[in-house]
Amino acid sequence: MHTIPVEHTDPINAQILAVSEDLVSGFHRHPFHVIAEKSGVDLGTVLERIRAMLEGGVVRRVRQTLLSTKLAHGALVAWKVPEEKLNAAFDFMAKEDPFSGHVVIRSTDTEVSGSGYRLWTTLKVPVGESLDEHATVLLRLTGATEYLLMPANGVFALGVGHVRRRSLEPGEKADETAVMMTTVPVDLTEEEWNVLLALKEELLPEEVVASPWDGRAAKAGVSVDRFCEVATTLNDKKVIGRFSTFLEHVKPSSTGERVTRFNGLFHWAVPKGREIEAGGEVGRHYCMTHCYWREGGPQFGDVNVMGVVHGTEKPRVMEHKAAIDRHLESIGIPVSYTNVFWGGRSEIKPSEISPVVYKEWHARMAEA
């Protein structure tokens, strides 16, 4: 009986994933064709392998991502939660709040500024709604005692590419500094929202086909041609991210394989006025899956540049950070505070951005 390999370490799967994780930028009418062309693997095999990895849990979702910084108000949130309520609060954020995306329990190697904030989430609310209002409701529902909102003033790196990054040497970086993306929301028409909401949902295994948008166009009540025209307009408005296969990079597969074992949230505090310069220098390092200008305030040593690095070995993750530290020092950017918050228990899901879902959720939770 023929068994399709599903592990990310299989040579053909690795060849596909090196492209499909984060190298298919923007909207494409036939995204799997693009993966086949860029990876050098024929289309039939690409579809077969991605479908098998999705069904096997190695790929946790396949979807068209959005640049939600353009569609919603967002922030990284650090929560103080009594230790006895920490796991319950985690469960609520992960399972009951569709507006919380990444939900992670983090720890530090030593007691330093901010160590008491163990629960970290990303939070999005529709444009016109209040992050503070939503966080205050979560505070009541979870028993957390304090939260700190850290919206992104700018984005320097936003990707995944775990398979591609496994062989990186510390210090490897782009020739040019990373360009900061802004987080100013855009206005969409009713038709654009309709197409966007159909476009963003993750693909089911049976939708991993040569023309994945045919069914989505039907759900949106428009022709495939019109669906793709509107999606192209959304792409031009810079609200479309990449088409991506997201690996299950935290939990082991059925055979015990892990994509990564450690993720470090790196903090640097640089002089005010040099955030864009420093963020561009940190974000140009290929190891960074995320890099932002966020203000942590005195609770976190006045940190203003944050980023995430993943790896299978903790010392290797720290080697990447040391290389970035040396680079900042070599170009004369002083760092007054730096730290690493290590990820432990975690759940990752897309944050909901629908205004309708937001109103329904708050109406339901008003009496909770």
Print pLDDT tens along the chain (368 aa).
468 888 888 899 999 998 988 789 899 999 999 999 999 999 999 999 999 999 888 888 899 988 776 778 899 999 999 999 999 999 999 999 999 988 999 999 888 778 899 999 999 998 889 999 999 999 999 999 999 999 999 989 876 554 555 667 889 999 999 999 877 778 889 999 999 989 989 999 999 999 999 999 999 999 999 999 999 999 998 889 889 988 765 555 455 555 557 789 999 999 999 999 999 999 999 888 889 999 999 999 999 999 999 887 889 999 999 999 999 999 999 999 999 999 888 888 888 888 889 999 999 998 87
Distance between CA atoms of 264 and 306, rounded to whole angstroms?
10
pLDDT of residue 359: 94
Residues 6+ apart with CB under 8 A from 224: 211, 213, 214, 217
Distance between CA atoms of 352 and 194, rounded to whole angstroms?
14
Residues 6+ apart with CB under 8 A from 319: 170
pLDDT of residue 256: 54
Distance between CA atoms of 42 and 32, rounded to whole angstroms?
10
Spatial CA neighbour of 169 closest among 337, 323, 367: 323
pLDDT of residue 253: 47
pLDDT of residue 8: 80
